């Protein structure tokens, strides 16, 4: 007796990065911001009243929408709140793609995309990044895919590279379905696709408070798009996807974006230093516009990426490793604090 649909039985589900419960592990595996959130966030959480908890929250997360509209110079109607960016992805796919429809995405990219596609019973249409040494680029003609949804992460995960705005504009103009531009790491990048939202009714930007705003534990993300699209997606969301505590905390974080910006600048400075130090050890990697690096282990004679990952782990440093085609020789390393990065460099220096 099968209690669930076949496509659910057949998918393995999403495999999250490890979350150790001890406080001594140097955790460079899931791209959290290494600095704490703004003190205003903790104040906002402490100021939540019993009455706010007794009542249902604002279904739209209105306070947050208004704050985000102000920060981005758009209207609250352009913004939809979600229980993490991951919920946005699930809603976008459910809203746009039916059972026999194609959902298009790149490989390698966010490993949640194929899982959500399978769970929806849709068909995965996979495209490959062209990888030439450390240069990653989108394949030509991707916009002609007959898919209902096309998912592009920019800045990219896991490579950290940034596709130019012109490329995204060209794809948005040529693609007939919903183009989701996943900007989970945009806070660490010099440009965003925000300006394209006014031009194209088929663009949905994903934003999250998990990375740039140090709130991965809160579960808060949002989408930016034209009001007509947001209205439809709103029907597909949970009725109360963001809770009262999360609305208060996320709003306080976004309003204090000057605090967050200081953490981004520190991460970017360390990204530059870590890149140079890893190169000195013989690693190579694409120029990163994110808060992580995809470092290819030094060739020949040295230990492979998998062994480096395992040895680092045994020494209390977690990085991300995937035994997958085209990235099995690489480690994805979140940029940590200067102290954390020094520990990593010390250990790697002994191993390569």
Ligand X SMILES: *Cc1c(COP(=O)(O)O)cnc(C)c1O
**Distance of closest approach, residue 85 Cβ to ligand X, in angstroms:** 3
Q: Of 136-144, 203-211, 253-261, 273-281, which segment contacts ligand X by CB under 6 A? A: 203-211
Smallest separation, CB 300 to ligand X (Å): 32
Residues 6+ apart with CB under 8 A from 114: 105, 124, 126
Angle (CA) 182-185-187 rounded to 5° is 120
| Structure-token match 């007796």, residue found | 1
Strand partners, 32: none
Query: Of the two residues 85 and 241, which places its CB atom closer to ligand X in the complex?
Result: 85
Site membership for ligand X, residue 153 (CB under 6 A): yes
* Residue ranges in 72-131 that form contacts with ligand X under rule CB under 6 A: 84-86, 110
CA max distance for the chain: 64
Interface with ligand X (CB under 6 A), residue from 96, 184, 295, 348: 184
Least distance to ligand X from the beta carbon of 352, Å?
27
Token representation of residue 326: 């085209």
Q: Find the part of the chain contacting ligand X (CB under 6 A) among 21-29, 131-139, 206-214, 301-309.
A: 206-214
Residue in the structure block whose two tokens are 């979600």: 82
Binds ligand X by CB under 6 A, chosen from 32, 182, 187, 270: 182
- Measured from the CB atom, the residue of 211 and 343 that comes closer to ligand X is 211
Of 142 and 153, the one with the shorter C-beta distance to ligand X is: 153
Sign of CA dihedral 155, 34, 72, 176: positive
Kindly write out the interface string for residues 13-32 of this chain, putting x where it contacts ligand X by CB under 6 A and - elsewhere.
------------------x-
* Strands (E) located in the chain: 26-27, 79-82, 102-107, 123-128, 130-132, 135-137, 149-153, 178-182, 203-208, 221-224, 292-296, 317-318, 330-334
Cβ-based neighbours of 262, under 8 Å, separated by 6 or more: none
Q: Which is nearer to ligand X, 186 or 348 (CB)?
A: 186
Considering only 90, 192, 210, 334, the residue that binds ligand X (CB under 6 A) is: 210
**Would you tell me which residues interact with ligand X (CB under 6 A)?**
31, 84-86, 110, 153, 157, 182, 184, 206, 208, 210-211, 216, 221
């Amino acid at each position: 007796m099968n209690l669930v649909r076949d496509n659910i039985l057949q998918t393995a589900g999403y495999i999250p990065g490890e979350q150790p419960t001890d406080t001594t592990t140097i955790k460079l595996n899931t791209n959290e911001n290494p600095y704490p959130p703004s003190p205003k966030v903790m104040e906002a959480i402490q100021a939540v009243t019993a009455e706010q908890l007794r009542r249902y929250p604002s279904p739209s997360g209105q306070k947050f929408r208004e704050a985000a509209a102000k920060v981005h110079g758009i209207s609250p109607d352009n913004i939809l709140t979600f229980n993490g960016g991951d919920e946005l992805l699930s809603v976008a796919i459910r809203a746009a793609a039916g059972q026999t429809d194609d959902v298009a995405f790149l490989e390698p990219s966010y490993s949640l995309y194929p899982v959500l596609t399978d769970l929806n019973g849709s068909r995965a249409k996979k495209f490959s990044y062209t990888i030439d040494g450390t240069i990653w680029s989108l394949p030509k003609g991707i916009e002609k895919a007959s898919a209902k949804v096309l998912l592009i992460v920019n800045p990219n995960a896991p490579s950290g590279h940034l596709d130019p705005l012109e490329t995204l504009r060209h794809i948005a103009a040529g693609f007939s379905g919903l183009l989701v531009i996943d900007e989970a790491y945009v806070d660490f990048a010099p440009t965003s696709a925000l300006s394209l939202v006014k031009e194209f009714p088929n663009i949905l930007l994903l934003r999250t408070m998990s990375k740039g705003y140090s709130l991965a534990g809160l579960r808060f993300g949002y989408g930016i798009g034209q009001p007509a699209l947001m209205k439809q997606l709103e029907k597909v969301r949970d009725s109360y996807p963001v809770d009262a505590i999360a609305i208060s905390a996320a709003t306080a974080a976004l309003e204090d974006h000057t605090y967050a910006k200081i953490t981004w600048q520190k991460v970017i400075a360390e990204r530059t230093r870590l890149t140079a130090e890893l190169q000195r050890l013989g690693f190579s990697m694409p120029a990163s516009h994110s808060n992580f690096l995809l470092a290819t282990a030094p060739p020949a004679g040295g230990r492979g990426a998998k062994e480096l990952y395992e040895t680092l782990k045994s020494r209390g440093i977690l990085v991300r490793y995937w035994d997958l085609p085209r990235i099995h020789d690489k480690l994805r390393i979140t940029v940590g604090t200067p102290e954390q990065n020094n520990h990593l460099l010390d250990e790697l220096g002994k191993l390569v």
